[in-house]
Amino acid sequence: MSESPPSASFAQIGDVLRHHQSFVLLSHVRPDGDAIGSQIGLGFALLAAGKSVRLFNEDGLPDNLAFLRGSERIERPPADPVDADVVIALDTATRPRLGAACLHAVSGVKLWLNIDHHISNPHYADLNLIHATSPATGQILYELILALGLPLPDESRDALYVAVSTDTGSFQYPSTTAKTYDMAADLIRRGLDVGTLNSNTYDNHPYRRLELLRALLNTLERSPDGLLAHWTLRESVRHDLALCAADSEGLIDVIRGIRGVQVAVFFEELPDGTSRVSMRSKDRRYDVCQIATQFGGGGHSLAAGIRMHEPLDAAKARVLAAIQQRIVEVSGDLQTAGKRN
């Protein structure tokens, strides 16, 4: 992977925010907590500062995040291009992941900001604030808002907490830092109701999600060495259970949690005949971002995804082969290191 250009500074981003009045904030298709939380978090900070703000998402607001205050401002992009001074892409590693309708809606806007934490982000905007070591875009925005002296209304406070909580596995993943805990503590001091937010985030799923988990467990496979586990969601199951995109959010952690498993993979058959692949790793030696980039995807070393324009079975075979190859390489490296010692 080639070296990325330097990230913009908070001061450079601040200059844009101060000197412009109207903003459109975007996040990626099939949005998760960090995507929606980042939009609401920054959006309401800008609204409180007297700016004009719209929040677009290609797929709209997921049902599981509708409890967030301010979430009613998330809208699907309009059919006609909008007038605005600045587009801000949040938590989105590549421009196409914003969605064709979103890109059309902002096609007349000249100035772009890109704020993200994915190491695979190619810096596709005019100003790019990319902190690949940050556990969530929400944490970058929290630090940005404080550094610039922007308001932090209740909507922003709650949304940024949920953004970071969901992208760190409720503060469990290795990307979680002391700054992450400091942020959470500060938000609680500012009045955040941590019990209610956590309950709404993690303990409020529709029954069909449990039916989905049962269906996925019936497809679970594990490699003979126990290092790889994967399961598959067919379009027929999605149809039969009347699933929403958010229903599968976080379920990959069930197989990631199997003792001995180092790489977990979730294969999904999409309605248009293409495939979606989500990967998680427990060990940076099994860098799933490097594997994802082989197929046009990206993400982080421990969490990455791919959208593949081929049928599920073909996509599955290629990705599993690449993962197995990486497992063989790591095993070889460990054997070589053992001989040296």
Question: Do 118 and 165 reside in the same domain of the chain?
Answer: yes
Residues 304-322: tens digit of each pLDDT: 999 999 999 999 999 999 9
Is 335's pLDDT higher than 70? no
Is 146's pLDDT higher than 80? yes
Tokens of 231: 């399961």
Span 71-82, average pLDDT:
98
Helix crossing, 137-148 with 154-167: angle to 10°? Answer: 150
Question: Do 98 and 55 reside in the same domain of the chain?
Answer: yes
- Split into its structural domains, the chain has a count of 2
Has residue 193 been placed in a domain? yes
Question: Do 198 and 232 reside in the same domain of the chain?
Answer: no
Sign, CA torsion 81/82/85/86: negative
Has residue 1 been placed in a domain? no
Question: Do 301 and 336 reside in the same domain of the chain?
Answer: yes
pLDDT value of residue 1: 42
Question: Do 141 and 269 reside in the same domain of the chain?
Answer: no
Has residue 83 been placed in a domain? yes
Query: 305 forms bridges with which residues in the sheet?
Result: 278, 298
Pick the last residue of a domain from 148, 181, 202.
Answer: 202
pLDDT value of residue 4: 62
CATH number of the domain at 28, please.
Answer: 3.90.1640.10
Domain residues for the domain of 320 are 207-340
Question: Do 123 and 226 reside in the same domain of the chain?
Answer: no
Q: pLDDT averaged over the chain?
A: 95
Question: Do 65 and 192 reside in the same domain of the chain?
Answer: yes
Has residue 313 been placed in a domain? yes
Question: Do 252 and 315 reside in the same domain of the chain?
Answer: yes
Which helix (H) or strand (E) is 184 found in, with range? helix 178-189
